[in-house]
Structure 1
């Protein structure tokens, strides 16, 4: 995409239209109640939460998109000084309320910007997103994939949120006489809190601003601001610390739980540092990996401090899920959207060897086309009755090369859309 046309989660750029993937603070840097650069596109849920996040914002700038539907924009191409049409579709990102991916199609080709996302094997929402992408792409291929690379490193391997949520319930169950403190952000982890509330049949305390968010999401029945009604409290992540837990334990027995995919290290007096101990990626099928993770994490709860447990509950995709996502899409080019992660590695470093392996790519070479190529090559072999072993080996090698070249040419034929140079898309 040309500079000056579209910006995604970037608010200081001079663009014609702007897109918001979700309302987490690291994606809204530069947004303020006074921001008025142009129309802002987001999901319906994000639009509903927007005024709460930015009171006084000019809501006439907000355009909400229906998930799974194409929307056409008429923009000015600065390179040709003529009008051009860009299509965009919002797709559920399975990250936090309102989070979406954006699929763009235009003269520049096809671009997918994931924002933050979770591509869980067992998630119905992720399966819906997969179906939406298949239906939207048809025979097109993604030219550039901007991907959430927060955990794009084989050292990050954690279970589904379903498994991690059960682990949190197990911890709370094992401390029936303790108060429980859970560190969360101002948006996200709602499903975890609802699961705890349902399984333990309790309301969960949240601070007043967080209860407002729950009201806007229609989830307020499970939450309260009265500390006398429950022993389970969800507090802002910034207020969750060793010092806080130690102070609370001088008044009442209290246990803290930090749900996060990040390794969370604590220094103990007289002992070595301990981390989350995330295992490396094993060569397992997706279902095997899920079952092994379920057994490993549900049955083996580890304590990282006298008063604190860390649980690998993450709203971002772990490495194995990122691999599956890239294999599924088989893009021409990949760019990471996170540049300041503790584990940051260019996603191409770990993923370069899986380009061209997706089901979307394989389906373009039909059985009939493959059979025709193989038939022609076998006929060529059959025409020569020589018994010379070296000659046979040479012809077999030629045959295999023939099939390979034909497959490559077919893939190129089905690769629609112009490639986007790194210079063209550096600001999107």
Structure 2
């Protein structure tokens, strides 16, 4: 990562087996992604990094969020680098940069989740030319496990890298990568949240994505029995040998960030929506979401209200492309091989794509629930919508930063107590408060779930902040690292460069 070599990080951290975050994330600012370039013998590879580096022979893309695509454009120069990602991410990437699909020098290959694949990295040593003399074929770059010794002419100095993609549970198409080669055993989580790995849920999102039916959450007894990650809940590829380095999604790398599971948070969102629609026939609900992500939440809302949630045309067509790509990728795995070395099935087979029938962009829809970009779900902007439409508007912001938006003196501890009471870990009769303090910043009015709030004193629309997070909370990160016990841990994100951070 950045200018520090993984070997140096290993030496610094080898003596420590206890997870300690590098820096606490600030409560009022978004984190910044670190550049990640790793050496692998005579070659190297990058993760979510599109800059020029002479040692990089391949780029691995974890998902298609904009902050992981900084530096990529239709004019990007591959310089002999192959891009590897999931089938869903490839479909979304080519929707964003359609010009890449027609360029002969750009090669984007897909990796199926849970399958270990051996890749050939081009020689990037100082003695080699930076630009390959000829374009390598897909077959020469992507090798089956039983052909690692079948190296063609002109590739004698190439490095072999075994890669396993795993569902990261962050957004449609997101994957984490396990790398094995001369770089050691390195696990890069990308943006990551897998409650089932940490013993907090039975499935990644709380429902069976194959049938689109809710699954019963773990009861209190089972939750207490499996409150931490263990080798039984983790993919076998991560635990069959020690890990040298874990590159961790430390977006919420501070003990004050304690979240409910997404299943629990989604239940709260659905309850707020149903309560709003039932109490006021003249009310509409606006849910603020990212341009990509939270599809399982939108599907849960659609199930709760009995009709598809209204989204923008761009998001609707992107969701269709993601689902079709996920199905094609699943079909390829089924048609592929019965390789005994492949890992057991883990995670969502559709990689978080929205089930068909859960979203709509039809202007004829009568649905009163809208999913819009989160930047448009502020009290002032919703007030303008209400004035234009003549309807009452209620906003919902499902985000882990709901903790950060409350007052610094009350939010983290009060929020943690509220989550604990909601999950039955303290007083079962306590108020099940999932929203932050009402003394929040001016942009938000946070309602407590113990009583339905229908109006505000200043006349602006109400916005509920519910901690539905696509990133793991601190306790989940700690559970993962304690189970993996790597030789070193390094954060994928850093705080913005300012004095308060």
Alignment TM-score > 0.5, same fold: yes
Alignment of 1:288-327 (within 5 A): 290-292=423-425, 299-302=432-435, 304-305=444-445, 306=456, 307-327=462-482
Matched length: 339
1:12 corresponding residue in structure 2: 51
Aligned to 2:391: 252
Higher mean C-alpha deviation, range 111-120 or range 244-253: 244-253
Tell me the CA shift for residue 108 of structure 1. Answer: 2.5
Give the unaligned 5+ runs of structure 1. Answer: 268-272, 347-428
Among 411, 426, 439, the residue aligned to 1:277:
411
Structure 1 CA distance, aligned partners of 2:487 and 2:395? 44
Aligned with 1:299: secondary structure? coil
Q: What TM-score do you get using the length of structure 1 for normalisation?
A: 0.70
Displacement after TM superposition at 1:288 (Å)? 9.8
RMSD: 3.6
> Whole-Å Cα distance in 2 between the matches of residues 138 and 278 of structure 1?
33
Q: Describe the SS at the equivalent of 1:29.
A: coil
* Alignment equivalent of 2:289, drawn from 179, 184, 206: 184
- Which whole-Å CA distance do the structure 1 matches of 2:404 and 2:63 have between them? 28
The question of whether the paired residues in 2 share the 8 Å contact of 1:153 and 1:345 is answered with: no
Indicate conservation of the 8 Å contact 2:266/2:300, yes or no.
yes
Measured in 1, the distance between the counterparts of 2:300 and 2:495 equals 32
Q: Give the deviation of 1:274 after TM superposition.
A: 8.3
After superposition, give the CA deviation of every residue in 1:48-103 in whole Å (9 maximum; x if it has no partner): 22211212113651110011111112222627974322111101101111100110
SS in 2 for 1:57: helix
Cα distance change on mapping 1:108 and 1:214 into 2, 3 Å: closer
> Greater shift after overlay, 141-150 or 55-64?
55-64
**Secondary structure of the residue that 2:477 maps to in structure 1?**
helix
Per-residue CA distance 1:198-232 (angstroms, 9 max, x = gap): 01112211111011112113445222222651110
In structure 1, the partner of 2:303 is 198
TM-score, structure 2 as length reference: 0.61
Given candidates 197, 200, 203, the residue that maps to 1:124 is 203
Of residues 115, 118, 125, the one that matches 1:72 is 118
Please tell me whether the aligned partners of residues 170 and 193 of structure 2 are also in contact (alpha carbons under 8 angstroms). yes
Which one has a bigger Cα radius of gyration? 1
Q: 1:230 to 1:298 in 2, by over 3 A?
A: farther
Q: How does 1:345-424 map to 2 (within 5 A)?
A: none
- Note the C-alpha offset of 1:47: 1.6
Of the candidates 32, 36, 42, which is equivalent to residue 85 of structure 2? 42
Name which of structure 1's ranges 148-157 and 135-144 shifts more when overlaid on structure 2: 135-144
Residues 137-166 of structure 1: CA distance to partner in whole angstroms, max 9, x if unpaired? 454211111000000100100100000001
1:221 alignment counterpart: 357
Q: Tell me the alpha carbon deviations over residues 364-387 of structure 1, each in whole angstroms, 9 at most, x when there is no partner.
A: xxxxxxxxxxxxxxxxxxxxxxxx
CA distance in 1, matches of 2:288, 2:490: 31
Equivalent in 21, 24, 39 of residue 2 of structure 1: 39
The answer for the alignment partner of 1:54 in structure 2 is: 97
* 1:115-154 deviation digits (Å, cap 9, x = unpaired): 0000312042499997695422454211111000000100
Identify the match of residue 378 of structure 2 among 235, 241, 260: 241
Rounded to whole Å, the distance in 1 between the matches of 2:321 and 2:398 is 23
> Larger helix proportion, structure 1 or 2?
1
| Pair 1:153-2:228 in alignment | no
Aligned residue in 2 for 1:164 = 265
Name the SS of the counterpart of 1:49 in structure 2.
helix
